[in-house]
């Protein structure tokens, strides 16, 4: 069993490093702290800085010229990962692979739209990674579907990056539904050499009607969505590592505010020692 575990660990480390290049080209960390959330009926944070912007009555404004500025803080520390703790020998090899960075990026709603599969996708620009990602988001009956949506690892769409393509997959990432609602989405990553990997995202509405303070602003009517996922090449080892009480899945908490959109994202990937936090620094909703 231990020999098999060594093989699994080596495969996970190499696969993880490769997937970072294929999917984002980055890993990220945490910005200014956010306040605790409270559901409707609880005690919200002090309301002297409550958001009082344009009312859109949805969770993704799309009026041309609307802008969002995000700050991302990412950490990759293998020495503090689950695998690093399980195998000191592996930690000696991979423990020096540390990343701790903070950076900002900007999103802007553009004019024009695209009709695909009966949905109307509104276009956005995103200068993350030099503008590789060009998001398009469709709203229909309280559901939000994205193409090239980059809220951290949610990169889907037809763009090529480093020789890899995601085959125009779309991702239904948010529903205006009650707490406890869950659904699954699947994307397929392929490269020019014939490599193919399937990733399944399981989304769950964890809370609705929250007030959450981010960067000094209290946002009411927030929906918290949790995503659990692992690339196929990692998920195949889940049963092998379960006996070691190792969780191979990445868990991400997304917070979407009505009339604003994404205000915060907190990602935890303990297997490899990755934490990522993205917060909304400022927005201008037209």
pLDDT digits (tens, 9 = 90+) for 2-56: 444 444 444 555 454 444 433 333 333 334 456 666 555 555 555 557 888 899 9
With b for 16 or more beta-carbon neighbours within 10 A and e for fewer, the 101-126 pattern comes to eeeebebbbbeeeeeeeebebbbbeb
Instruction: Specify whether the CB–CB gap between 152 and 143 falls below 8 A.
Output: no
> Which pTM does this prediction carry?
0.79
Q: What is the pLDDT of residues 68-112, one digit of tens each?
A: 999 999 888 776 776 666 666 655 666 566 778 899 989 999 998
Instruction: Specify whether the CB–CB gap between 47 and 218 falls below 8 A.
Output: yes
> How far is Cα 224 from Cα 260, in angstroms, rounded to an integer?
14
Instruction: Specify whether the CB–CB gap between 80 and 126 falls below 8 A.
Output: no
Q: What is the pLDDT of residues 154-182, one digit of tens each?
A: 433 334 333 333 344 678 999 999 999 99
- Per CATH, which fold does 2-284 belong to? YmcC-like fold (2.40.360)
Closest Cα to residue 137, out of 239, 263, 28, 261?
261
């Amino acid at each position: 069993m231990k020999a098999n575990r060594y093989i699994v660990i080596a495969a996970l480390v190499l696969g993880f490093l490769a997937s970072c290049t294929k999917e984002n080209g980055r890993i990220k960390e945490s910005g200014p702290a956010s306040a605790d959330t409270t559901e409707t009926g609880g005690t919200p944070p002090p309301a002297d800085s409550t958001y009082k912007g344009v009312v859109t009555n949805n969770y993704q404004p799309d009026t041309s010229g609307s802008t969002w500025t995000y700050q991302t803080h990412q950490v990759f520390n293998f020495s503090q990962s689950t695998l690093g703790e399980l195998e000191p020998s592996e930690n000696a090899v991979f423990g020096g692979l540390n990343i701790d960075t903070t950076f900002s990026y900007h999103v802007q709603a553009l004019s024009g739209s695209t009709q695909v599969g009966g949905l109307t996708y509104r276009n956005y620009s995103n200068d993350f990674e030099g503008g590789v990602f060009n998001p398009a988001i469709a709203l229909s009956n309280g559901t939000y579907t994205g193409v090239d949506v980059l809220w951290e690892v949610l990169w889907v769409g037809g763009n090529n990056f480093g020789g890899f393509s995601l085959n125009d997959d779309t991702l239904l990432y948010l529903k205006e539904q009650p707490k406890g609602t869950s659904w699954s989405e699947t994307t397929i990553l392929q490269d020019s050499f014939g490599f193919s990997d399937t990733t399944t995202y399981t989304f769950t509405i964890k809370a609705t009607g929250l007030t959450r303070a981010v960067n000094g602003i209290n946002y009411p009517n927030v929906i918290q969505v949790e995503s659990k996922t692992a690339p196929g090449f990692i998920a195949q080892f889940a049963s092998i590592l379960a006996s070691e009480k190792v969780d191979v899945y990445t868990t991400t908490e997304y917070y979407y505010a009505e009339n604003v959109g994404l205000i915060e994202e907190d990602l935890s990937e303990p297997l490899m020692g990755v934490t990522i936090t993205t917060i909304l620094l400022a927005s201008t909703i037209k």
